Structure 1
Amino acid sequence: MSLGDGASGGGDAEYGGVGQTRTRLPGGRSGDVYGGARRGRSSSRSLVTVVGVVVLLIAAIAFANRGGGSSSSADGGRTRTDSAPTAASGVRPVQSKNGGIPSGFAHDQQGAQSAAANYAVALGSADMFTKTGRDAILKAVITPSKVTDFQARLDKAYTADFNKKIGLNEDGTAPQGYTFVSRTNPIGTKLTAFTTDKATVEVWCSGLLGLAGQNSTNPVTSSWFTLVLQLEWNGGDWKIVTDSQKDGPAPVPGDERASTANDMGKAVEEYGGFTYAR
């Protein structure tokens, strides 16, 4: 991912369009390290963005089921889709999970978009900062022939020094007394290219990254970005071949005051994620 602003991946991908949904992040109470003021991206975020895959931050708040009609036209052997309205399709997105990550997506456009949204969440999670967690996620979402390449690239990015710079222990865990927040929240997906066994999907996301704690020097901040995932149908499921990240689209900040460190840490521990579907 890039990590929540996180690490952004490397391949070249093609981009394009389909439905969208909106989520609204809750406002908080004033106080503590956040000082009630909105902050821009932290230096740690910029750092992570430079790094390398879609560890973009974060896990999920909700991004309603959507579906709806889409019109398509052939273009160089590929099908390009126009934007579709946000609407639940009524089709169950997945039948199973692989290491806690949704799997078994439908072999169609909806399945490709559902896979991309769920994979964005996994790649933007806090587990990406530890070697064990990262390897497990990559094996679950990356096409088999590319897993070793992704692991090598990310091992060079998520070093002990890198973890220390963003306030973590060298092994990627949070220091005692702090809650590490790294979540990616899909807002919508856009299918830009599709053939029987290949798809390119853009996932518009909001992200959270930082350490929640009374004396944190890297408080949790938010960001907006778009992940571009090129997928292929492999072994009966959609898998990532390449990934990249770009900034925005970002809305104008609202008037909500930032939550306290205690409220932020409590929210992350109490609010779980969802399985995403079009």
Structure 2
Amino acid sequence: MSLGHDNDGFGGGSGQTRTRLPEGGTGDPYDGTRRPPAARSSRSLITVVGVVVLLIAAIAFANRGDGDPEKSDANPSAAGNPTAATGVRPVTGKNGPIPTGFARNEQGAQSAAANYSVALVSADILNPGRRSEIVKQLFVQDKVAELEASFDKAYSREFLDKLGLDENGNAAAGLTYVSRTAPVGTKVTQFSDSAARVEVWCTGVFGTAGVSSTNPVTNDWFTITLALRWADNDWKVESFSQKEGPAPVNTDRTASDADAIATAVEEYGGFTYAR
């Protein structure tokens, strides 16, 4: 899903068609013989034992330490640092579904950027009333009027018509519009105690679920770059841009039907992302 018609922060998404090879035979195109049952049973037992050993080791490792998050020895600037809740707790409250009260450090800036990316590419951004609330919450005050006008122009009635949505961003009866973003990781490229630039690598699912949909739900990979400013005791967005990828190779997996996708969106809630 793109936030734009180009890479300026607003717009739609794309999909692709894959050919699924027929299944049958041994299930292994490189092996012309079927392993005897005894060999398969032995291999299955070894696999199960191996998984159990790994689980025990993981639990033991997780139980190390006193469990106090305030004593975590983390360096958010380190390359490849895991995206996990470490160091100072970055979120102290919420304004609606969007977290607020991020820490004034690199960790807080990354957490803010991740959560703001989710809001900027959500289904709510297509609803004029909710969009106004999101813009006022996420952006610095002197950019709100400009960004509201830009968003309103990008998400025009003509644009919504192409997605099969009404003027409020709602799908027709029997259809469910899906726009769910999941940050995969974050990277700080500039930082001071008053400003930061953070890249958020994302994936997500976008489209309209339903039997009669002409805009089926597909997945996408993209990176959002947010310029943040410390204002009103929180990180706020000053500007943002988007580019495609990095995208992995798609697996050859059977797609779920429209009802399964729509049900999943309704039953599985989103996350608050914190570093």
TM-score, normalization by structure 1: 0.73
Residues of 2 paired with 1:10 and 1:39: CA distance?
20
Letter in 1 for 2:200: V
Q: How does 1:1-278 map to 2 (within 5 A)?
A: 4-7=1-4, 10=8, 39-40=15-16, 68-70=74-76, 82-89=79-86, 91-278=88-275
Counterpart position of 1:18: none
Letter in 2 for 1:256: R
Deviation at 1:111, TM superposition (A): 0.2
Residues of 2 paired with 1:68 and 1:255: CA distance?
38
Kept in 1, the 8 Å contact 2:83–2:186? The answer is: no
RMSD across aligned C-alpha pairs, in angstroms? 2.3
Which protein shows a greater Rg? 2
Deviation at 1:86, TM superposition (A): 4.4
Residues of 1 paired with 2:254 and 2:73: CA distance?
34
Residues of 1 paired with 2:86 and 2:107: CA distance?
9
Deviation at 1:268, TM superposition (A): 0.3
Letter in 2 for 1:257: T
Identity across the alignment (%): 52
Taking structure 1 as reference, are residues 125 and 87 closer, same or farther at Cα in structure 2, changes over 3 Å only?
Answer: closer
- Any gaps of 5 or more consecutive residues in structure 1? 12-37, 42-64, 72-80
Kept in 1, the 8 Å contact 2:76–2:107? The answer is: no
Which structure is higher in RCO with an 8 Å CA cutoff and minimum separation 6? 1
Residues of 2 paired with 1:70 and 1:237: CA distance?
18
Deviation at 1:209, TM superposition (A): 1.1
Q: Secondary structure at the match of 2:136?
A: helix
Taking structure 1 as reference, are residues 85 and 185 closer, same or farther at Cα in structure 2, changes over 3 Å only?
Answer: closer
Kept in 2, the 8 Å contact 1:225–1:248? The answer is: yes
Letter in 1 for 2:201: W
Letter in 2 for 1:68: A
- Any gaps of 5 or more consecutive residues in structure 2? 18-68
TM-score, normalization by structure 2: 0.74
Residues of 2 paired with 1:88 and 1:144: CA distance?
29
Query: Number of matched residues?
Result: 217
Residues of 2 paired with 1:221 and 1:67: CA distance?
39
Larger % of helix: which? 2
Residues of 1 paired with 2:101 and 2:87: CA distance?
17
